[in-house]
Structure 1
Amino acid sequence: MHKEHLEIAKNGKGFIAALDQSGGSTPKALKSYGVDESEYSNEQEMFDLVHEMRSRIITSPAFTSDKVVGAILFERTMDSKIDGKYTADYLSDIGVVPYLKVDKGLADLENGVQLMNPMPELDALLDRAVERNIFGTKMRSNIMELNEEGIKEVVKQQFEVGKQIIAKGLVPIIEPEVNIDAKDKEQIEEVLKNEILKELDQLSEEQPVMLKLTIPTKPNAYKELVDHPRVVRVVALSGGYSREDANEKLAQNEGVIASFSRALINDLRKSQSDEEFNKNLQDTIDSIYDASVNKK
C-alpha cells in the first residue's frame, strides 16, 4: 500500500472526482457533455471520446491536488494515457490519488436491492491495477427498498469482495448506494449503518476500507462510520441530486467529503472554449470542495 496515498486518502483536504462512467452510463455522460450518439459508430470510438473528455478535465488548470484529493477511473481509462503517461501515474504526479471502478454492473432487483454482478476476472483486474499503480478500488450496489434481508446481502457481498481487494494490497471503497427516491430512506440508512458496523468490527488493523454512501436524510447519521478505526474515509455520492442540493446536504455531515460524478461534469460541454470550460470546472470544483471541507 502506498503510504503517501494513504495519508492523502485519510487526511487530504478536498474531494474525490468520480470519472468512472462505464459502458452503460457513458452514452449519457457524453450526451450531457454535448456529444451525440451519432458522433460515434462503435464502442471503441465512444470510449475514445469519453477519454478525451476525462483527459480535458484532468489536465485542466482547475484540476489540482489543492482541492481534488482523488479520482476514480474506469478500467479503460486506467489502461489509457494522458500526455504519454498512464492515467494513474499522471494523477499521482500531480498529487491526486488514483482509484479504479471494479464492479461489472448490477444484478436484477431482488429483495429490494441490486447486488453486484459476479466478477470472475476480478483477480486479474486487481493484478493489473497494482501494476498500473492504482491505490484503491470502488464497487457499487443499489438499495431501493427497506428490506433487511436484502440490505444484509448487499453489505455481506461488499465486504467479501472488499477482503479480496485488500489481499492484493489495495484499499476498497465499499459503495452500497441508497436510492435517493427510496421510500423509508432514513430507516434504510439506519439498517445499513448497523450492518456496516458489524462488518467493520470484524476487520483487523491490516484491513482498512473506505465507504461511499448516499448523503443521509438525517445529518451526521453516519458519524459512527466516520469515526470507526477501520475506516480511512467516508465519501458521499451525489446520487442524482443537483450539485446545489448535494452540496447543501453534504455540508451538514461532519467528516464526509464528496465523490461526485454527474454533479461534477454537468456544466461541462465539448463546445466550450478552454477558457469557458476551465472556468466552469473551477466553479464546480470550488463549490464541491467548500461543501466537503467547510461544514455547517
Structure 2
Amino acid sequence: MTTSSACQNQQDARINGIAKSDGSEGLTASAGLPRTLPDVCFELQARIDAFLCEKTEDDVLRKVQSQVRESMDVIRQALSRYGPDHLSLSYNGGKDCLVLLVLILACLPGWDASCPTPTPTPTPTPCGTGTPEPPRPSPAASAPAASSQTLHAIYIVSNDPFTEVEEFVATSAQQYHLDLKRYALPMRPALEAYLGDRPVVKAVFLGTRRTDPHGEFLTHFDPTDAGWPQFMRVHPVIDWHYVEIWAFIRHLQIPFCDLYNRGFTSLGGVTDTRPNPALAVSGDTSKFRPAYELRDDDEERLGRN
C-alpha cells in the first residue's frame, strides 16, 4: 500500500476528522502471536506517520499534528542525550501519559542504546503537505535497541485506586512492554525507592501539561528541585491542550481506560475523584457524557477534590 492510499484509508474511516472510538480498539494482532516491542513500535510509528500526512481542514487536528511533531522532537532529544536504557516513563494509565507513551514508542525504531544518536536519511515531504518532516533513521537501523526490549516505567499508585485503573495499567503495561515498577507510596519516597531499584535511570518522561497543578512554568527539560531525588524531568506534552489529547487518542484509535467513557476527566483515587459535573447529562448527576466531549481546559479537574 502506498503512503497516499494509506492516508486516504485513514481519512475514509473518520467522521469530521475524529475516529468513532470508545477506547476498545487495540493494536493489530498477528495470527494470535504475542507482539514484540519492535512490532508495537513499528505499528505505532506507522499510525503516526499516516496521521501526520493527512490533509485536514479541522483546526484541532492540524494543531495536534503540530503538537505531535514538537513532542517527538523533544523525545528524540531525550533519546539522544540519555539513550533509551537510561530513560523512564511516569505511567498511571491516564490519558496524558498514554499519549506520551505512544509517542515514545513511535520514536524508538532506529535508536541504538549503545549509541543513542541515529543515522538519519533524508525524508520526503509527506503527502505533498509542504511541511518537511524531521530526519528519519535509515532502514538498516530501524529496530529498537537489543538491550531495550522493555521500556522503564514507574507507577505511583493513588490512595484507594480504582479497579478499572489498576486493570488498565496492568493490561497496557503488558501490551506496550513496560518494565513497570509499582509503588503505593507518596511521590517523594516512591521516587527514592524507584531510583534505588533502577539506578540506571537518569531522566523520566512525565505527561504533565501546562494547565496541571505546578505545570505553569515548566519547560521541556527540568531537573528535579533541591531535596528531591535527582533526575531530569522531560515534558514532551507540556503545551498540549485537553481537546488535543483526546483528538489524538480517538483519531489514532488508542485504547484508553473505561472510566473516561463514564464522565471521569482526571483520574485519581476512589475517595478524591468523581465524574466531572460539567459532563452531567441535562443536569442529571447520575448520567455523564464521555470525557472527550469536554472542551475547556479549566474544567478538566472539576471532578477532583
Alignment TM-score, normalising by the size of structure 1:
0.30
Structure having the higher Rg: 2
- Where is the strand percentage greater, Structure 1 or Structure 2? 1
Q: RCO (CA 8 Å, sep 6+): is it higher in 1 or 2?
A: 2
Alignment TM-score, normalising by the size of structure 2:
0.29
